[in-house]
Structure formats: C-alpha cells, structure tokens
C-alpha cells in the first residue's frame, strides 16, 4: 500500500469521524494558586465543533486520492 493510499484512507476515516461526532472536546487544567501544601487548579472544558462541510470535503478529497492515478 502506497503512502498516497494511506493518506486517502486516513482522510476518509477522519471525515467520517467528523460526520459522526461533529467535533471533539478536551480539558485544559491550569494551576491558579499554590498556598503552602494546598494547590488550587481549575479545569476548563473546551469543545471544538467540526463543520459539516469540512467533513464532507475531507471525505471527497480522500476518495479523490483513491480513485485517481498519480502521474508517472
């Protein structure tokens, strides 16, 4: 399997996951204060939404890479 095919399959999988989950979330921890043995921290929850059109474009590009032949 060539690198081109691997990239195409990765794009198709990423686009499909974008369609299914519509984004991803992550937690960012910050250390606000340290007073003696006590440490106060805050956890910020962030959500990144992936637009529907971006997922579709990524899938189309992946399929395009699979069905077209590279020029030799």
pLDDT tens-digit series, residues 47-58: 999 999 999 999
Q: Let me know how long the chain is.
A: 72
In a domain, 18, yes or no: yes
In a domain, 26, yes or no: yes
% of the chain exceeding 70 in pLDDT = 99
Domain extent at residue 18: 3-67
In a domain, 72, yes or no: no
pLDDT digits (tens, 9 = 90+) for 23-38: 989 999 887 788 888 8
Looking at the 3D structure of the chain, how many domains does it have? 1
In a domain, 21, yes or no: yes
62 burial via Cβ count (<10 Å: 0-12, 13-18, 19+): buried
């Amino acid at each position: 399997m060539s690198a081109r095919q691997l990239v195409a399959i990765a794009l198709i999988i990423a686009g499909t996951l974008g369609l299914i989950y519509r984004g991803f979330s992550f937690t960012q921890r910050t250390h606000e204060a340290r007073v003696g043995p006590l440490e106060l921290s805050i956890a910020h929850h962030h959500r990144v939404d992936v637009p529907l059109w971006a997922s579709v474009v990524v899938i189309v590009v992946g399929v395009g890479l699979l069905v077209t032949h590279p020029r030799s």
